Every structure is written in C-alpha cells, then in structure tokens.
Amino acid sequence: MTLTQKLKVLLNWSTRSTPHIDLNTELYQQLKPFRLPLILVVLMIMVGTLGYVIIDGFTLLDAIYQSGITFTTVGFGEISPISPAGRIFTITLIILGFGVFSMSIGILVEVLNKGQLVKIIKERNMLYKIARLKNHFVICHHNEITIELSKQFRENHIPFVVIDTREDLPELAQEHKYPYFVQEDPHTEEALLKSYLSSAKGLITLSENTADNIAQIASTRLYEKEIGLKRPYYIIANATHEKDIDKLKKLGADRVISATKLMAERLRAMSLRPDMENMLEKLLYRKDAPIDMEEIKIPDHSWMRFKKLKEARLRDVTNVSIVGIRDANDSFIPMPKGNVLIGTGSKLLVIGTGESIRATKRIIRKKQKPEELKYV
C-alpha cells in the first residue's frame, strides 16, 4: 500500500459512499433526446470547417472559427474576404444552423416540461446524500406522528429518512423540514435500497393500516437476512388497535406503540399523579433536561458479568442511580439491592446526567475492572 493510499484510508477517503440505486440509467434515458441535436451541431461545425477550407482556402483554425460564428449566427462578420461561392455557403450554413438550434430548443423545452429530468436529478442528488448517513432511522409513511417525531429527531440530532408514496412528498418534506426523503412504496426492495437501510440503526413504520406495517416488518427482516446483518435492526411499529400489538411483535417488531394506549396511560398518570407528571416532563421529556434515563445492556465481554451490583460502585464513580434491572428472561427487578447478581444479558435502568450515563457505559463495556474502581 502506497503512502497516498494509507493517507486515504486514515482520512476515510479510500471509498466514497454510493447509493445502492444511483438512477444513472434513468438519467441517461432522459438525456437520449439530446443526442440528435449534439450530433447535428458537431456535424455542422465539421461541414462548415471543411467548406471554408475548400472554397476559400482558410486555415484550419480560421475555418473552425468562421464556421462557429456563422453557425451560431452571432454576427461577428467575415474574418477574411469570402468569395461569392463562399457567401452562398455561409447563407446555407446560417439557415441550417437556425434550424438545428430551433429543433434543439424545442427538444429542450419538451423534456423540461415533462419534469422527469429535473425530478431524476434531484432524486439522484438526494440518494447520494442519504448514502453518507450512518446509524440513521428509516421512518415509513408520512402522517401527524411522523411530523412530531421528525421534530424530536432534529432537536436531538438523530439522522432519519422518510419514505412515502405521496406525490406531494417533496413539498411536505420542505414544509416539515425532512432533510432526507424517498418517494417509494416503503415495503418494496427499491425503497429499502434507496433509504440505505444497510447502514441504518433501525426502522419505524407508522402506517394506520396494520397490513402495511406487517408487510414492512416482513420486508425489513427478510432484507436483514439477505445482507447478513450481524446486528438486527431495531424495528418500532404503530398499532391502531390493541389486538394488533402482539401480532406485530410476533412478526418481528421490537416495540409496538399504540397512540391510543399511550394517550390513555398518560392521561391516567396525569389524573392520579399530576405533580409527578410535571416533574417527569421537566426532567426527562425536554431536550434540555438536566437528567436522563437509559437502559444499558451488559455486554458478554463485560467485567461486570456475574458480579454483585454493589461491586460495580457506579453510584460512587459515575454518580448514577440504578433504579431497575431486567434479566435475560425479561423479568424486571425494581430498586435492586446491592447483593443482586448481574447475569448474562442483563440490562441496567440508570438515571443520571447525560455525561454520567456515558461514563457508566464506558465502564460497563470494559473487559477488565477499571483502575478507578480499585481505589473506591
């Protein structure tokens, strides 16, 4: 490997992210009508150049120049005396040039009026932008939930792509500030490729039709197997009815959200514990919240496996509180005591500041017991 190649690898310039579907074929199809005008222009310049060389003995450069200004009818005049035969040839060249340019303008106007060329160019540019995303979320179907979710994602700097078949999706994307969007049927392979799902963190399907969500989950899990993804996609689905929640989970959704159920639970909490809801609103739900809550999974290589909770001393080192433990069987232990054993696949529910939670993750992911814990 040369020094230049090593530098490219170091700066991550060795490869350029390209879309799985680049639309080059469609773009070339739209540009095909321009082939005839281009051929005629080149042919007219060649004929004009040859004519001036033969008729009036122009040099090659003078013949090309005279042919160009005559063919384009710019009116610069003769660069050297032209014979009567040469003038007749010039008039013929002007008339033919006018005809070629008129035809070219007609073709250009016709292609632009169809709108497909501009649409393909814009979509192609969008696909190249999407191909640069990493660990983004793919949101399927535009609706009111999508609008609110996109606001939250933008505020928290979470990259996302919206997929929908609506004809007015570009206008909606501009109105609701979707940075990336794909105008396709979400469950099709083409939509998954255009959204660069291979580099995504997960997918959120928000259709009000359960059948659409089922098709989306099935397509995503199938695509996941086809590309041999090591880390499964995190799939969140929307359920209109309570009876559909278990069905969508069995089909492969990691989480299923029912807007009706969430609203009912929130209203119940507000009714029974209004002060607590106000506190949670200030501490957890706001973007600039002083504290955060997160569930952290214990990796298989973590030094904390098969250790008691009190041995981690996370409260003393990172200033977080462990308010719950979920074991591999999905059993939840609220407010665990220090002698609770941390098993394989356990998840810790921690509360703390954003910085303290990040520090906790770093400690948990270490293979050996961190040095700072030896002195606590």
Strand boundaries in 62-183, DSSP class E: 137-140, 160-164, 181-183
Which residue has better confidence, 4 or 61? 61
Residues 121, 27 contacting (CB under 8 angstroms): yes
Q: Would you say the C-alpha torsion 262, 265, 271, 272 has a positive or negative sign?
A: negative
pLDDT in tens, 31-50: 888 888 888 888 888 988 99
Mean pLDDT, to the nearest integer, of 344-354?
85
Residues 304, 312 contacting (CB under 8 angstroms): yes
User: Number of helices (H) and strands (E), helices first, in the chain?
Assistant: 16, 12
Mean pLDDT, to the nearest integer, of 348-357?
86
Judged by DSSP in three states, 163 sits in strand
Mean pLDDT, to the nearest integer, of 139-145?
93
The structure tokens listed for 190 are 């083409």
| Domain 26-116 is found in CATH 1.10.287.70 | yes
Give the per-residue pLDDT at 12: 43
Superfamily per CATH, domain 291-375: Regulator of K+ conductance, C-terminal domain (3.30.70.1450)
Q: What distance in Å separates the CA atoms of residue 59 and residue 152, rounded to the nearest whole number?
A: 69
Give the per-residue pLDDT at 27: 79
Residue 122 pLDDT > 80, yes or no?
Answer: yes
How open is the CA angle 197-198-203, to the nearest 5 degrees? 35
Residue 128 pLDDT > 80, yes or no?
Answer: yes
Mean pLDDT, to the nearest integer, of 222-229?
89
Please choose, from the candidates 75, 104, 96, the residue with its C-alpha nearest in 3D space to the C-alpha of residue 66.
75
pLDDT in tens, 306-339: 888 888 888 888 888 888 898 888 888 888 888 8
Residues 162, 172 contacting (CB under 8 angstroms): no
Please report which confidence band the pLDDT of residue 111 belongs to, taking 50, 70 and 90 as the band edges. confident
Residue 179 pLDDT > 70, yes or no?
Answer: yes
The structure tokens listed for 266 are 């929130």
Domain with CATH 1.10.287.70 in the chain: 26-116
Residue 98 pLDDT > 90, yes or no?
Answer: no
Mean pLDDT, to the nearest integer, of 24-33?
80
Beta bridge partners of 333: 325
DSSP codes joined into one string, 178-223: -SSEEES-TTSHHHHHHTTGGG-SEEEE--SSHHHHHHHHHHHHHH
Beta carbons within 8 Å of 239's beta carbon, 6+ residues apart: 210, 213, 245, 248, 256, 257, 258
Judged by DSSP in three states, 145 sits in helix
Residues 317, 372 contacting (CB under 8 angstroms): yes
Domain with CATH 3.30.70.1450 in the chain: 291-375
Domain with CATH 3.40.50.720 in the chain: 134-257
Q: What is the mean pLDDT of the chain?
A: 83
Mean pLDDT, to the nearest integer, of 292-307?
86
Q: What distance in Å separates the CA atoms of residue 88 and residue 51, rounded to the nearest whole number?
A: 11
The domain 134-257 is placed in CATH, from the list 3.40.50.10490, 3.40.1390.10, 3.40.50.720, 2.40.50.140, at 3.40.50.720
Please report which confidence band the pLDDT of residue 11 belongs to, taking 50, 70 and 90 as the band edges. very low
| CA–CA distances in Å: residue 7 to residues 10, 14, 18, 194 | 5, 8, 21, 30
Share of the chain above pLDDT 90, in %: 25
Please choose, from the candidates 148, 147, 149, 211, the residue with its C-alpha nearest in 3D space to the C-alpha of residue 185.
211
Q: What distance in Å separates the CA atoms of residue 326 and residue 342, rounded to the nearest whole number?
A: 9
Q: What distance in Å separates the CA atoms of residue 112 and residue 326, rounded to the nearest whole number?
A: 59
Mean pLDDT, to the nearest integer, of 49-64?
89
pTM of the model: 0.65
C-alpha count within 13 angstroms, C-beta hemisphere, residue 328: 10
Residue 304 pLDDT > 50, yes or no?
Answer: yes
